[in-house]
Amino acid sequence: MNIKLFNTMSRKVETFKPIKQGEVSIYTCGPTVYHFAHIGNLRTYVSQDIMKRMFLANGYKVLHIMNITDVGHLTSDADDGEDKMEKGSLREGKSVWDIASFYTNQFLMDVKDLNILPPTKYTPATSYIKEQIELVQQLESLGFTYEIKDDGIYYDTSKFKDYGKLGGQSLDELKGGARVAFSSGKRNITDFALWKFSPKNQKRQMEWDSPWGVGFPGWHIECSAMCLKEIGDRLDIHSGGVDHIKIHHTNEIAQVEPVINHNWVNYWVHMEFLNDLSGKMSKSKGDFLTLSLLKDKGYSPIVYRYFLLLASYRTQLNFSFELLDGAKKSYENIIKKVADIIMNANDAFDDDVYLSWKNRILEAVSDDLNTPLAIVILQELLKSNVNFSIKFKLIEFFDDVLGLQFIENANALLNIEVPENIKNLAELRWQAKLDKDYQKADLLKKEIIDAGFNVEDKKDSYEIKKL
């Protein structure tokens, strides 16, 4: 199948050509583990998961590396401000190492809940300090670095003639576009830290020895060093959210290409944002939505995944609970129809019919991950007079490429047995509501949700549902 992806570097949808026949290497920028991932971050990982599933469905062998940023980098892109990990440590009264391990585990749970296929390997930045130092040394020996006293080792962006090519800006444009005066001895506004010194007279929780003194790596160097180590100096796809185009990925190219002396990445694939009512969802705004919050409100993570796939990964998507409710209804309708298919899938199979539908589905996702079209094809299939056995096989294929667990949830619907204790909790909750003890009712509802069920109130009764 012809695979097409939008390449940020060329700003065009291109036909994918792998470096090695039948194989694809993918590096995706992972989470910074100082807080929960918000549902916007998770949109990016779901979009990347669709890309990976699309390659698998096309028969590719996938090598996928994802970093875990467990070293604190600084809250501003200008290499100053607070360290995110230390900030998390202060906020919660735990060590930075405990913060990193707690939020890494939370992230892994989100990944599982959203049915995202785990990468071939997660690479925590703290396990690759040696490689990061060695890359900075190589840049130093090539004359790309300079030191700012009591601050750190910086990359001189004026030395790299292609600087800014990914974001489509030349260094002069970048300089002209800078709004704030820059301080602290940087030679160019776009220069960035490769190694930061620990403050004098203060021991940081995370710091390492280096040829330049005790300190910690800059943010951008980690992905470059880990990618070179785990994949090598030629990479099919490097991916992240669109916010990474102008700074993080631009700086990554600047760190790698002078060292390897040739083009590094063939396709740069960037995922668009999820917005809330006030604009781009971000952790620094304080108030943000997490997957556990959606679960507490009675939405299963797979419904959120379905909501995301209704839009193309290249368009911004607005989040609202009304839209999520719409997605939930539609997903539940699909599950009911799939349950019906499971019950009746015993008629004769026809390969030709099966393959023609399968190709349409594969063609949709291979065309720059067109998941909205794949879902239109699914609705068409459900309405069609294709027989149940073929429909069943095609739904299995949909599960492979979209990861929406249609068969699993339809089976759960068919086997639904509400355990006695859940029935009791639901009854107690209903009583609490009638007694207007809403606090108790909410606590009971949470208990029911934690056990994998939910209660939905009707006019004079309630219904127990499996999440």
Q: Where along the sequence are the contacts to ligand AMP (CB under 6 A)?
A: 29, 31-32, 40-41, 43-44, 240-241, 243-244, 273-274, 280-282
- Which residue's CB is nearer to ligand AMP, number 85 or number 342? 85
**Residue 55 partner contact from Zn ion, ligand AMP, none using kind-dependent CB cut-offs of 5 to 8 Å:** none
29 touches Zn ion (CB under 5 A): yes
**Residue 223 partner contact from Zn ion, ligand AMP, none using kind-dependent CB cut-offs of 5 to 8 Å:** Zn ion
Amino acid at 420: E
Convert 43-89 into a string of H (helix), E (strand) and C (coil): HHHHHHHHHHHHHHHCCCEEEEEEEEECCCCECCCCCCCCEHHHHHH
Max CA separation in the chain (angstroms): 78
CA distance 251 to 156: 11
Provide the 10 A C-beta neighbour count for residue 136.
Answer: 24
Taking alpha carbons only, the member of 308, 227, 316 closest to residue 29 is 227
CA distance 151 to 196: 6
Q: Residue 199 is encoded by which pair of tokens?
A: 């403050």
- Which residue's CB is nearer to ligand AMP, number 206 or number 390? 206
Taking alpha carbons only, the member of 236, 230, 289 closest to residue 37 is 289
- Which residue's CB is nearer to Zn ion, number 223 or number 364? 223
**Residue 306 partner contact from ligand AMP, Zn ion, none using kind-dependent CB cut-offs of 5 to 8 Å:** none
Nearest distance, CB of residue 385 and ligand AMP, angstroms: 40
| Chain position whose Cβ is nearest to ligand AMP | 241
Q: Residue 466 is encoded by which pair of tokens?
A: 């499996």
Nearest distance, CB of residue 13 and ligand AMP, angstroms: 21
Amino acid at 46: V
Nearest distance, CB of residue 40 and ligand AMP, angstroms: 3
223 touches Zn ion (CB under 5 A): yes
**The one segment of 22-30, 209-217, 305-313, 320-328 that binds Zn ion by CB under 5 A:** 22-30
Cβ atoms of residues 135 and 259 within 8 Å: yes
CA distance 455 to 449: 8
Nearest distance, CB of residue 29 and ligand AMP, angstroms: 5
- Which residue's CB is nearer to ligand AMP, number 31 or number 88? 31
- Which residue's CB is nearer to Zn ion, number 221 or number 362? 221
**Residue 44 partner contact from ligand AMP, Zn ion, none using kind-dependent CB cut-offs of 5 to 8 Å:** ligand AMP
Nearest distance, CB of residue 244 and ligand AMP, angstroms: 5
CA distance 401 to 374: 9
Nearest distance, CB of residue 121 and Zn ion, angstroms: 15
**Residue 145 partner contact from Zn ion, ligand AMP, none using kind-dependent CB cut-offs of 5 to 8 Å:** none
Cβ atoms of residues 54 and 3 within 8 Å: yes
Nearest distance, CB of residue 109 and ligand AMP, angstroms: 15
Q: In angstroms, what CA-CA distances link 212 with 57, 71, 137, 228, 413?
A: 48, 18, 10, 22, 61
Nearest distance, CB of residue 226 and Zn ion, angstroms: 9
**Residue 280 partner contact from Zn ion, ligand AMP, none using kind-dependent CB cut-offs of 5 to 8 Å:** ligand AMP
